[in-house]
Structure 1
């Protein structure tokens, strides 16, 4: 049987998330290990099974001990998204910048797909958590990765507007395809009642000058045009099928 190279099996069952501390295993409690335990619970039993008490039990501590590091469930969910997306930085096949934009996007797309396949129950959370700014699109929702994406395409000759359009189209493709893929694997992508996370704090863009410059363009809504262009591209591709 052919093994999907992006699947955990194709990667030698490697796990990028730091394993949680087991009861009696020693080691201190910290935010990273708490989030690792939470991700393990979601990977195994789904998001609906995640509670502060369950995370504490997995770590061998009282739930109240967790609040010293993470103030509540909403902060934990945000932290989970952050930690899982940060797996891209540890993926040797993904580049933060590259002189060939097509290779850059191919490697980045497969990196995000590897995350989705390694954590299919977490991926819907990545798709639905409120982003750092209204114009940040999942699943590539890291400000650093957005800055890298836009810089790479502009350095490769894209105009500002073309780079923004590429980010939006790339995000739409990844999100739609990968949500369908994890759903087909049995992941729960249905709505889960959550507490109101409250207003989204304004993103701190001091370290991201390109995002500061392009944020007005990123905030423009071109959903109708994107849909029509994507549909036309699909129809043109299907036309080639009929000629085979």
Structure 2
């Protein structure tokens, strides 16, 4: 059973058995609603109407709007993890892996611009991670992949910080230029889930000190130097 939120009249579920709904169906419907109407307009009442049921029927599957939006963010991150992050064995090199992942993350940002800024927000289970991402599994898999390609701990952490900061920064600017609000209300997320137990994430547990260290000033200078070097090379190839 599906809950449609497409153009035209929404597919109705009112005449069907409500028990055909599930958390997955409700979350997917919420994602479609956000993509079409925006995060600010998502309410339990409006989503219920989109699914052809009373809002109260949705509370069988989500605790409220915060849990619903958190479920949407998790859904998008899990899909990204499955389709791109965990696909390391399909690549011949770490460079190919990072290129493929970057394109996957960019497509996610373009497909779900209203949700994407919430992915680049404080991870409730690991608020010490810099830059933050809302999935410990995402970070663990990323580090594990680079280590499997021969990176040592220091190089893997440096790669994580440089790669994700550059990627997220570029994509947030891109979706902002398309009219997306980069400052969604973080209170819409349900902060009650999970714990800070890192026992399931051995790399994060081992590298917590390095991941939490604040090297913002040095990283800014390094980024600036890289930009200037790139511009220098560009000027060198310009015709006189």
Q: Structure 1 length as normaliser, TM-score? A: 0.82
Q: CA deviation at 1:236?
A: 0.7
1:222 aligns to what?
215
Residue 85 of structure 1 contacts residue 115 of structure 1 at CA under 8 Å; is this kept in 2? no
Residue 130 of structure 2 contacts residue 211 of structure 2 at CA under 8 Å; is this kept in 1? no
Q: Gaps spanning 5+ residues in structure 2: where?
A: 5-10
1:161 aligns to what?
154
1:111 aligns to what?
104
- When residues 94 and 147 of structure 1 are mapped into structure 2, their CA distance, relative to the original with a 3 A threshold, is closer
Q: CA deviation at 1:208?
A: 1.8
Q: How do 1:160-199 residues align onto structure 2 when only pairs under 5 Å count?
A: 160-192=153-185, 194=187
CA distance in 2, matches of 1:239, 1:133: 39
CA distance in 2, matches of 1:106, 1:128: 23
CA distance in 1, matches of 2:2, 2:160: 32
Name which of structure 1's ranges 233-242 and 87-96 shifts more when overlaid on structure 2. Answer: 87-96
2:78 aligns to what?
86
1:57 aligns to what?
49
Q: CA RMSD in A?
A: 2.7
Residue 117 of structure 2 contacts residue 184 of structure 2 at CA under 8 Å; is this kept in 1? no
CA distance in 2, matches of 1:114, 1:195: 24
CA distance in 1, matches of 2:122, 2:49: 25
Q: CA deviation at 1:172?
A: 0.6
Name which of structure 1's ranges 205-214 and 134-143 shifts more when overlaid on structure 2. Answer: 134-143
- When residues 177 and 220 of structure 1 are mapped into structure 2, their CA distance, relative to the original with a 3 A threshold, is same
The answer on 1:33 being equivalent to 2:25 is yes
Residues 52-88 of structure 1 deviation map (CA, whole Å, 9 limit, x = unaligned):
1111111111111212211122212211111011222
- When residues 195 and 45 of structure 1 are mapped into structure 2, their CA distance, relative to the original with a 3 A threshold, is closer
Q: CA deviation at 1:179?
A: 0.7
Q: Gaps spanning 5+ residues in structure 1: where?
A: 1-17
Residue 157 of structure 2 contacts residue 211 of structure 2 at CA under 8 Å; is this kept in 1? yes
Computing the radius of gyration over CA atoms, which structure comes out larger, 1 or 2?
2
Aligned residues: 227
Name which of structure 1's ranges 141-150 and 123-132 shifts more when overlaid on structure 2. Answer: 123-132
- When residues 19 and 135 of structure 1 are mapped into structure 2, their CA distance, relative to the original with a 3 A threshold, is farther
Residues 132-173 of structure 1 deviation map (CA, whole Å, 9 limit, x = unaligned):
311345675422221221112122222212111111111111
- When residues 78 and 196 of structure 1 are mapped into structure 2, their CA distance, relative to the original with a 3 A threshold, is closer
CA distance in 2, matches of 1:243, 1:216: 41
CA distance in 1, matches of 2:34, 2:97: 30
CA distance in 1, matches of 2:116, 2:218: 27
